[in-house]
Amino acid sequence: AQSVSQHNHHVILSEAASLELGCNYSYGGTVNLFWYVQYPGQHLQLLLKYFSGDPLVKGIKGFEAEFIKSKFSFNLRKPSVQWSDTAEYFCAVGPFSGGYNKLIFGAGTRLAVHP
Amino acid sequence: KAGVTQTPRYLIKTRGQQVTLSCSPISGHRSVSWYQQTPGQGLQFLFEYFSETQRNKGNFPGRFSGRQFSNSRSEMNVSTLELGDSALYLCASSATTNEKLFFGSGTQLSVL
């Protein structure tokens, strides 16, 4: 079955702490991988995506993610979080081709960053 | 550039009624996808339209349907509403397929 598992539902950090959010997926075939973020009161927006090439991808606001094919993982990282990173983060997977935007989303991780 | 616009923002309906939700994509985007978001099931894909054609469909009953107009605006319809249809319905547009999705703010549907 196709699925995305996000390891943590809630994460609480202090400013300047490092962040790593886990994401594992189960999906047949070649995939595209995404991290979307929803800031309080705002709509979902793309943080970063992996389609092919360098497995370490960089996104907006200093976020990066590493695709490890052998582990079916796409973990999100940031070396030093800020209060403004407080948001809900969603990992998503879709087929490399032919999927027509049919993404499978994880349940989300709520991140709270305290000053 | 205006973002994805969904109307109405909130809806309250009773069981058995039907409802129509509207989505206007970003100008120039030809693909419109719909997702249902609930606390229990998270985000689930409903369907995707491109140039007025449904190209993919999720695992939802036939009560859920949609269409896309020649100007790329899309509507989704849910007939014979059930309590379990209460959810946030999100519309997303993209220029082409398998590309970055731009989401709207959603329509919050409550079924009483």
pLDDT at A114 over 80: yes
Q: What is the pLDDT of residue A3?
A: 92
- Which chain B residues are within 8 Å of A46, Cβ to Cβ? 100-101
- Which chain B residues are within 8 Å of A103, Cβ to Cβ? 43, 45, 101
- Region B68-80: mean pLDDT is 97
How many contacts, defined by CB atoms under 8 Å, are there between A and B? Answer: 64
Name the average pLDDT for chain B: 94
Chain A residue with minimal CA distance to B104? A43
**Residue B62 pLDDT class (50, 70, 90 cuts):** very high
Q: What is the pLDDT of residue A30?
A: 86
Q: Are A10 and A89 in contact (CB under 8 A)?
A: no
Phi, psi of A63 (to 5 degrees): -80, 150
**Residue B72 pLDDT class (50, 70, 90 cuts):** very high
Q: What is the pLDDT of residue B73?
A: 97
**Residue A100 pLDDT class (50, 70, 90 cuts):** low
Q: What is the pLDDT of residue B96?
A: 78
Q: What is the pLDDT of residue A46?
A: 94
Q: Taking Cα atoms as reference points, which of B101, B108, B112 lies closest to residue B38?
A: B108
A24-72 per-position pLDDT tens digit: 999 888 889 999 999 999 999 999 999 889 999 999 999 999 999 999 9
Which candidate from B31, B45, B103 shows the least CB-CB separation from A44? B103
Q: Are A36 and A93 in contact (CB under 8 A)?
A: no
- Which chain A residues are within 8 Å of B101, Cβ to Cβ? 36, 44, 46, 101, 103
Name the average pLDDT for chain A: 93
Q: What is the pLDDT of residue B98?
A: 65
Selected residue with higher pLDDT from B99 and B94: B94
**Residue B90 pLDDT class (50, 70, 90 cuts):** very high
Q: Taking Cα atoms as reference points, which of A89, A90, A42, A43 lies closest to residue B104?
A: A43
Rounded Cα distance, A70 and A63, in Å: 22
Rounded Cα distance, A88 and B100, in Å: 18
**Residue A99 pLDDT class (50, 70, 90 cuts):** low
- Region B71-79: mean pLDDT is 97
Q: Which of A102, A104, A105, A109 to mutate to test the interface with B (most CBs of B within 10 A)?
A: A102
Q: Is the dihedral of CA B47, A50, B39, A45 positive or negative?
A: negative
pLDDT at A92 over 70: yes
How far is the alpha carbon of B5 from chain A, nearest alpha carbon, in Å? 11
Judge: B106–A43 Cβ closer than 8 Å, yes or no.
yes
- Region B86-109: mean pLDDT is 91
Rounded Cα distance, B79 and A52, in Å: 41
Q: Which of A31, A47, A89, A100 to mutate to test the interface with B (most CBs of B within 10 A)?
A: A100
Q: For B89-101, give the DSSP string.
A: EEEEEESSTTS--
Rounded Cα distance, A20 and A73, in Å: 12
